[in-house]
Amino acid sequence: MHFIELRNRVLAGLSKALVLFIALAPAFAKADRPNILWMAAGTQASNIAISPDGQTFATSGMFEFSVRIWRVSDGAYIRTIPASYSTIWSIAYSPDGQYIVIGREGVAGDDRATVEIWRVSDGTFVRGLNPGTDDNFTNAWTVAVSPDGKYVGVAFTHYNGIRIYNFNGGLVRTLPSGGYAVAFSPDGKMAAGTINGATRLWQVSNGAVLQTLGQAGTHYAFSPDSTRLAVASESFELPLKIFRTADGVLERSFGGPGDGNVQYKRGIQYSPDGTKLIVGGTHDAAVPLQGNVSDEAIDMWSVSLGTRIWSYRYEYGTSFGIGFTKDGRHVISAGGKSTPLFFDPHGYDNLQKFRAMDGFEELGWAMGRGIMGGLAFSPDSSLVVATGTPNWVQMWNSSTGQTNR
């Protein structure tokens, strides 16, 4: 069973509670507890997206099948978008911040769209992108909007594969076979997804296949200049690979099983200058939440040399999400330390901040409340927002550890 599906099955059974915004102590002392700045009634949060202008952010609630819009500056609740009547798998803002794209679970006998666009300012439904009974029983796992705002990429399960839609409505093209992820390049010219067991790059404007790469992926990371694509899989048998987008040549392969590298990969990202690649997950084949003990693993790699710069390991844990700050000086990981239990309600919800140059852990604090569901940075990386279950959202300043109010 794919991890996303497993995770959301666990989340779906949890009840609603509180939305919390906190500020961590400025000194990042590991024993310091944060101060609760405000709390309000809310839903459990499993997906998160921050608007491109950094003014608002959206969270999706598994239990209530809705999307809530919040103001970044003071955490004020703005509105609820009653976007769905089934599980929401993915949400994404349009580049201008005016719209939210929502991907949901298909429901038997329901011919309404599983990919919807809603206006943020007033919560008005704009359009469905994939109407028709052919999408029943089909989950829209991942939605992504191209940098120019013209297209929406959707990774479906089952027979509907990967589809590209015009943002204003209308199917542009369908690529056969199912996949769990789709990603646009920073320059907006290419898209990546897994088709028939291999990653393909295609040109967004005309759908032409540019490259077929010899590895399937569940996570993708384009280099900042769009000249490289890193492909990672949650399968512990497959290594992390970097391909040139111009000709599909494999440049780097970062190890395989049994050599101490991150095996069960859940997050990858290039540094802002494109010289380093961070990968997080576990360093063995154990799958968290499936009764196995897993060890958290984070590796920092040199892209040019193909050598590991530093590694972080912690027994009993995992990294569910990982990313660089905008200045490239720090890495923040969501997930972290836990205990060797099938399901520990007080584990898998750590936040950790590492120095990018040497992997020194500057912040490591256990929330003690549940499972991490997502991690997102504001456009300038000055703010970090994390979500999880049961029922919490937290925001802090990535540089000082204080809430930016």
**251 domain residue, yes or no:** no
Nearest residue to 348 via CA among 376, 377, 316, 323 = 316
Count of all residues that appear for the chain in the document: 405
Number of domains the chain is built from: 1
With 60 as the cut, is the pLDDT of residue 126 above it?
Answer: yes
Q: What pLDDT sits at residue 321? A: 62
Q: What pLDDT sits at residue 2? A: 44
**73 domain residue, yes or no:** no
Nearest residue to 321 via CA among 281, 360, 354, 294 = 281
State the pLDDT confidence band at 393, using cuts at 50, 70 and 90. Answer: low
With 70 as the cut, is the pLDDT of residue 32 above it?
Answer: no
Q: What is the dihedral of CA 89, 94, 97, 102, to 10 degrees?
A: -20
Q: What pLDDT sits at residue 28? A: 27
**265 domain residue, yes or no:** no
Q: Are strands 35-41 and 45-50 parallel, antiparallel or unpaired?
A: unpaired
Q: What is the pLDDT of residues 132-182, one digit of tens each?
A: 545 445 778 888 899 899 999 888 875 667 888 999 888 887 766 556 778
Q: Average pLDDT over the chain, rounded to whole?
A: 68
Q: Compute the distance between CA of residue 261 and CA of residue 311 in angstroms, rounded to an integer.
A: 9
Domain residue limits at 101: 83-214
Q: What pLDDT sits at residue 40? A: 35
**192 domain residue, yes or no:** yes
With 80 as the cut, is the pLDDT of residue 116 above it?
Answer: yes
Q: What is the pLDDT of residues 259-291, one digit of tens each?
A: 555 555 567 889 989 999 888 765 554 444 444
Q: Compute the distance between CA of residue 8 and CA of residue 6 in angstroms, rounded to an integer.
A: 6
**196 domain residue, yes or no:** yes
Q: What is the pLDDT of residues 245-264, one digit of tens each?
A: 999 999 988 756 555 555 55
Residues 6+ apart with CB under 8 A from 206: none
CATH number for position 110: 2.130.10.10
User: Which of 12-26, 202-216, 314-328 is predicted least confidently?
Assistant: 12-26
**94 domain residue, yes or no:** yes
**104 domain residue, yes or no:** yes
**385 domain residue, yes or no:** no
Mean pLDDT of 28-37: 31
Q: What pLDDT sits at residue 377? A: 63
Mean pLDDT of 113-127: 90
Half-sphere exposure of 320 (CA within 13 A, CB side): 28
